[in-house]
Chains A and B, each alone.
Chain A
Amino acid sequence: MQYIKIFIKVDMSNVIRIKKGLNINLVGEAEKTIKELTTDQFAIKPTDFIGVFPKLLVAEGDQVKAGSPLFMDKYRENILFTSPVSGSIQEIKRGAKRVLLEVRIQSDGKDEAVDFGQADPLKLDKAAVTEKLLASGIWPMLRQRPYSVIANPADEPKAIFISTFDSAPLAPDNDLIVHGQGDAFQKGLDALTRLTKGKVHLNLDANSTQSKVFANSKGVQINKFAGPHPAGNVGVQINKIDPINKGEVVWYLYPQDVITIGKLFTTGNYVANKVIALTGPEVLKPAYYKTKIGARLQAFVKDNVTNVEKRFISGNVLTGNKLEVDGYVGFYAGQITVIKEGNYHEFLGWALPGFGKFSFSRSFPSFLFKNKKYALDTNLHGGHRALVMTGQFEKVFPFDIYPTQLLKAIMAEDIDKMENLGIYEVDEEDFALCEVIDTSKTNIQEIVRKGLDLMRKEMS
C-alpha cells in the first residue's frame, strides 16, 4: 500500500493543474453502452467549416461512394469534402441568397468505398500523407490555431495537439469510444507524426483517463491534465504546453478523427465511423450510438425525447450549434444535447431566493449544492446590459490573458491590441464559460469569432 501511494504521488507531480474553471453538472448523461443507429440519411454541411466557400461537385441523383467528393473549397481547391457513405445525392439544400446549406445523401447500405490505397504511414513522407488525407476528404478534420479553421496543407505546424478527454457538460467518454480501436489509433498517430517536425501532443485527464489505447500510444508526447472545464479544451492545453506566438501555427484534431486517419492507412478507405453521445435532460434514454459522420437527427431522437418544446444541439450546451428538427449532426460533433426552450416569463425571478437555479455566483443558494445536477433550459435570465461587473471572467478563464480587455479590443476592432492581448491563443469555445456566467448577458462567443475572422482577413 505504502509503495503504491508513493508511486501515485510521484506520478502526479507531472500533472498540469488547471485551477480556474467550472464543471457544470447536467441531467442526462449517456449510459455507457454503444448502440447501433439505424438510418440511411446523411448530410455534409458546408456551414460547419469556418471560412470555406463551397464549390459543389455533385448534382441531385448522382451516385457516390464513401470518399467521393461532394464539394471543395473554392479558394483552396485541394481541400475536398467527401461522402461518408455510398448511395445517391438525395437533395442539395440551399438557403437565403442560394447559400449551400446541406448536401443530403441517401445511403444504399452497401458501404462501397473509393480506394485510396493502403500504406504504412511511417514509410511515407509529409507530402504523401498529406495527399492521402486531402484526397479522401479526411483533411478537414485537421484544424489549426489560430482562428480554428481547417489547416492549411502548406503550413509547417510547430506541433499537433490531441485532447483525449472532453470536460464540457455531458461530454462523451472517449475511453469508451476508442475501446478496441488501439491499432487504428496508433496508425493515425503514426500518420500525424509525419505532418510536423515538432511533437504530437496527446493530452490525457490525470484522473479519469483509463484507456490503454491512449496511455500506451507510441511516438507521441503524453501530457496529463487535471482540473475543471475547460481543462479538456485543446486551447487551454496548447496555452500551458507550447503557447502560440504570432506567426506560429498549431494543428489539432479529436481522438475519433485519429482513428479515421488510421483506418485510411490500414484499409485504404474513408471509414467515416463516428460514435455520437445522445445526452441532455430532455432525452428519455441517453446513450451512445455508432453511426457515420453527418447522420440525421431524427434517427437519434425519434420516440426518445420528452414532449416539451426543445432545442436540439449538435455538440455540447456550451459551444454546440442549434439544429432544426429535420437537421443533421455536424461534421465535428461527437455529441447531441437536448434541452428545454426557456421562453417563459418568471415573476420576480431575479429577486426570489432561487433554489434549484444554476449560478456560478454566490448570490444564489446553488453554491451550497456543488454536486447537484441541473436540467437547464435556454432562458437568458435577464436582458442585455453594458459590461459592468469585473473580475468574474478571470475565475473561469485559465489563460494568462486578460479576457475583458481582449473582448473590448475586439469590439473596438483594434487589430494591434487584439494581437498584443493574445487573440492567437484563443477561440470562441475558450470563452464559453465567461459567456455563461456573464451578468450582462453579452454574446461573447460571437464577439470572439468576429475578432478571429477580422484577424484572419487582416493577416491574409
Chain B
Amino acid sequence: MKFLRDFLDKQKPQFEKGGRFEKLHSTFDAFETFLFVPDKVTTTGAHFRDAIDLKRTMSVVIIAMLPALLFGIWNVGYQHFLSLGQSPGFWPVVFYGLLKVLPIVIVSYVAGLGAEFIFAQSRGHEVNEGYLVSGMLIPLVMPVDIPLWMVAVASIFAVVIGKETFGGTGMNVFNPALLARAFVFFAYPAKITGDTIWIGGLSKAEGVVDGFSGATPLSYAASGVMDKLPSMSDLFFGFVPGSIGETSKLAILIGAFVLIATGIGSWRIILSSILGGVSMSLIFNLFAANDYMKLDPMTQIMMGSFLFGTVFMATDPVTASQTNKGKWIYGFLIGFFAIMIRVFNPAYPEGTMLAILLMNAFAPLIDFYVVEANIKKRLKRASLGVKPLKQN
C-alpha cells in the first residue's frame, strides 16, 4: 500500500490551505482517513489510546444491519414474484431485489453524504462518520416502491434539518434516519401508506394475481381482519410485505446480537423497549375492547417495524437517553407508546416511528431528572455528613 500512501502524500498539499483544491479539504480528509488511520499521536493526557474510533464503531453497526439488508433484498424479489403468481427461483428473485433496493441505498448515500461534505467544508471540520449508519438506515425503513427523488430529498432533509441545524453529529435531538422517514410520511403520505407500495411493482398493478392485496400485517390488524394475519413463523422469518429491512425478525435479532456482543448497542434500551411493548400489549389484553387489543404480545412484537426500530433506531446513542438509568425509562416508554399508537390510532398503522421520535424529544428530560437525583444525593450527603456504603 506504499504507492497509495505516496500518492496521497503527493496530492495532499493541493488540498491544504492555499492549495488548488482548498475547498475540497474535508472531502480529501474523509477519503484519506478512510484509507489510512491518521498518523496523529497523543498530545496531552493518556499517552496511548484505545484502537477503537468512530469509524470502527459505525462499521460495526453497519455489519449488524447487513443481515436485514440482505434479507430485505431477497424479500423484495420474493414478494414481487408472489404478487405475479410466479416462483422463478433464487437468483432472479435476488436480482429483482437488487435492482429495486441498490438504487435506493446509493441515492441515500450520495445525497446525504453530499450534504455532509458540504457542511463539513463550510464549517471547517472533519466529516463525521454518523451518516454511514443513517445512510443505510434510510433505505431499510422505506417502502420499496418509493420514488428515488423522494429518497434524495428525505436524506438531505435528514442531514440539513435533522442534524446540521442542531450543530452537527452528536448534537442532534432526533434520529436523522427516522426524521427522513417522518418527512416522507407527512410530506408525501400517499407514497408511504396504503397497501400497494410495499411490494415492488404493485403500485403499477400490471399482471397482478387476482385477489392479491399486498397489505402488510399491520394494515390487516388495523382494519380488524385478524384471520388474515400471517403465521408466526412467516412473521419471524419475514416472508411478509413491509419496509425493506423490517420484515425478518431473525435478521434483526442477528443484528441485535452483534450490537450487544460488541457493546456498541445498548442492551438496556433493547431489553426495556421489548418489556415496554409486552407490558402495553398485556394491558390491552386485560381491557380488550376489540380484536386488535386482544392480540397477544408475541404477535405485537413480531409485527411491523417494532423490533427494527428498537434494535437499530432507539439505540442511537446521540438521540437516546445518555444515563444508564435513563436508558431503561427511555426504552420502556418507546415500546409502550409504539404499541399504544399502533392500536389506538388507525391513521398511523405503525407507531414505532412516532414513539421513538417522541421519546427522542423527551430523552434530555429523562436524563435531567436522573442527574438531578444524583445532585440531590450529593447535597444531602454534604448537609448530613453521611458516609456512603454503596460500592461500584
Contact of B52 among A243, A376, A398, A439 (CB under 8 A): A439
| Residue contact A339 to B48, C-beta cutoff 8 Å | yes
| Residue contact A317 to B262, C-beta cutoff 8 Å | no
Contact of B128 among A363, A385, A437 (CB under 8 A): A385
Judged by a CB distance under 8 angstroms, whether A457 is at the interface is: no
Judged by a CB distance under 8 angstroms, whether B387 is at the interface is: yes
Q: A347-B4, A349-B36 are in contact. Are A378 and B262 (CB under 8 A)?
A: no
12 pairs from A and B in contact (CB 8 Å cutoff): A322-B47, A339-B48, A345-B37, A358-B50, A359-B50, A361-B56, A361-B263, A400-B392, A401-B374, A421-B371, A422-B374, A441-B49
| Residue contact B59 to A358, C-beta cutoff 8 Å | no
Judged by a CB distance under 8 angstroms, whether A341 is at the interface is: yes
| Residue contact A444 to B45, C-beta cutoff 8 Å | yes
Question: Chain B residues with Cβ under 8 A from A8's Cβ?
Answer: none
Question: Chain B residues with Cβ under 8 A from A56's Cβ?
Answer: none
Contact of A446 among B33, B44, B268, B392 (CB under 8 A): B44
Judged by a CB distance under 8 angstroms, whether A242 is at the interface is: yes
Nearest Cβ distance between residue B249 and chain A, in whole angstroms?
A: 24
| Residue contact B37 to A346, C-beta cutoff 8 Å | yes
A368-402 vs B, Cβ < 8 Å mask (1 yes, 0 no)? 00000000111111111111111100100011111
| Residue contact B46 to A357, C-beta cutoff 8 Å | no
Q: Which of B20-73 contact A (CB under 8 A)?
A: 33, 35-57, 59-60
| Residue contact A359 to B59, C-beta cutoff 8 Å | no
Judged by a CB distance under 8 angstroms, whether B322 is at the interface is: yes
Complex Cα–Cα for A67 and B382 (A): 41
| Residue contact B169 to A385, C-beta cutoff 8 Å | yes
A431-460 vs B, Cβ < 8 Å mask (1 yes, 0 no)? 010011111110111100000000000000
With A318-B46, A440-B170 given, can you name 6 additional A-B contacts, CB distance below 8 Å?
A342-B48, A345-B39, A350-B55, A361-B50, A381-B51, A420-B379
Complex Cα–Cα for A400 and B377 (A): 10
| Residue contact B261 to A362, C-beta cutoff 8 Å | yes
Complex Cα–Cα for A151 and B57 (A): 43
Contact of B59 among A347, A351, A405, A438 (CB under 8 A): A351
| Residue contact A436 to B391, C-beta cutoff 8 Å | no
Name the prevailing secondary structure of the B interface residues: loop
Complex Cα–Cα for A348 and B31 (A): 11
Judged by a CB distance under 8 angstroms, whether A246 is at the interface is: yes
Question: Chain A residues with Cβ under 8 A from B391's Cβ?
Answer: 16-19, 240
Nearest Cβ distance between residue A59 and chain B, in whole angstroms?
A: 33
Question: Chain B residues with Cβ under 8 A from A422's Cβ?
Answer: 374, 378
Complex Cα–Cα for A197 and B53 (A): 48
Q: Closest chain A residue to B374 by CB distance? A: A402
Contact of B49 among A363, A387, A391, A436 (CB under 8 A): A436
Judged by a CB distance under 8 angstroms, whether A207 is at the interface is: no
Complex Cα–Cα for A239 and B377 (A): 14
Contact of A242 among B37, B43, B374, B387 (CB under 8 A): B387
Question: Chain A residues with Cβ under 8 A from B205's Cβ?
Answer: none
Contact of A389 among B44, B51, B317, B327 (CB under 8 A): B317
Judged by a CB distance under 8 angstroms, whether A53 is at the interface is: no
| Residue contact A385 to B46, C-beta cutoff 8 Å | no
Question: Chain B residues with Cβ under 8 A from A360's Cβ?
Answer: 50, 52
Question: Chain A residues with Cβ under 8 A from B53's Cβ?
Answer: 350, 381-383, 385, 439, 441
Nearest Cβ distance between residue B273 and chain A, in whole angstroms?
A: 15
| Residue contact B51 to A357, C-beta cutoff 8 Å | yes
Question: Chain B residues with Cβ under 8 A from A339's Cβ?
Answer: 47-48
Chain B residues within 8 Å of A, Cβ to Cβ: 1, 4-5, 33, 35-57, 59-60, 126, 128-130, 168-171, 261-264, 266, 268, 317-318, 320, 322-324, 327, 367, 371, 374-375, 377-379, 381-382, 385, 387-388, 390-392
Judged by a CB distance under 8 angstroms, whether A7 is at the interface is: no
Judged by a CB distance under 8 angstroms, whether A49 is at the interface is: no
Question: Chain B residues with Cβ under 8 A from A347's Cβ?
Answer: 1, 4-5, 35-36
| Residue contact B39 to A379, C-beta cutoff 8 Å | yes
Contact of B45 among A345, A383, A402, A443 (CB under 8 A): A443
Q: Closest chain B residue to A342 by CB distance? A: B41
Question: Chain A residues with Cβ under 8 A from B56's Cβ?
Answer: 350-351, 361, 363-364, 382, 439
In the complex, the 4 A-B pairs of residues with the closest C-beta atoms, listed nearest first: A382-B53, A386-B170, A349-B37, A445-B45
| Residue contact A400 to B374, C-beta cutoff 8 Å | yes
Q: A341-B41, A359-B52, A388-B317 are in contact. Are A378 and B47 (CB under 8 A)?
A: yes
Question: Chain A residues with Cβ under 8 A from B390's Cβ?
Answer: 400
| Residue contact A385 to B126, C-beta cutoff 8 Å | yes
Judged by a CB distance under 8 angstroms, whether A290 is at the interface is: no
Nearest Cβ distance between residue A279 and chain B, in whole angstroms?
A: 13
Question: Chain B residues with Cβ under 8 A from A343's Cβ?
Answer: 39-41
| Residue contact A380 to B40, C-beta cutoff 8 Å | yes
Q: Closest chain B residue to A349 by CB distance? A: B37
Judged by a CB distance under 8 angstroms, whether A320 is at the interface is: yes
| Residue contact A380 to B371, C-beta cutoff 8 Å | no
Nearest Cβ distance between residue B390 and chain A, in whole angstroms?
A: 7
Complex Cα–Cα for A339 and B49 (A): 13
Q: A17-B391, A439-B54, A446-B45 are in contact. Are A383 and B377 (CB under 8 A)?
A: no
| Residue contact A361 to B52, C-beta cutoff 8 Å | yes
Max chain B Cβ within 10 angstroms of own Cβ: one of A366, A432, A438: A438
| Residue contact A390 to B55, C-beta cutoff 8 Å | no
Complex Cα–Cα for A354 and B51 (A): 9
Judged by a CB distance under 8 angstroms, whether A428 is at the interface is: yes
Complex Cα–Cα for A65 and B50 (A): 46
Question: Chain B residues with Cβ under 8 A from A385's Cβ?
Answer: 53-54, 126, 128-129, 169-170
| Residue contact B371 to A364, C-beta cutoff 8 Å | no
Contact of B169 among A241, A344, A388 (CB under 8 A): A388
Complex Cα–Cα for A5 and B268 (A): 38
Complex Cα–Cα for A358 and B371 (A): 32
| Residue contact A391 to B324, C-beta cutoff 8 Å | yes
Judged by a CB distance under 8 angstroms, whether A245 is at the interface is: yes
Q: A384-B126, A388-B130 are in contact. Are A361 and B371 (CB under 8 A)?
A: no
Complex Cα–Cα for A386 and B128 (A): 8
Question: Chain A residues with Cβ under 8 A from B170's Cβ?
Answer: 385-388, 440
Judged by a CB distance under 8 angstroms, whether A319 is at the interface is: yes
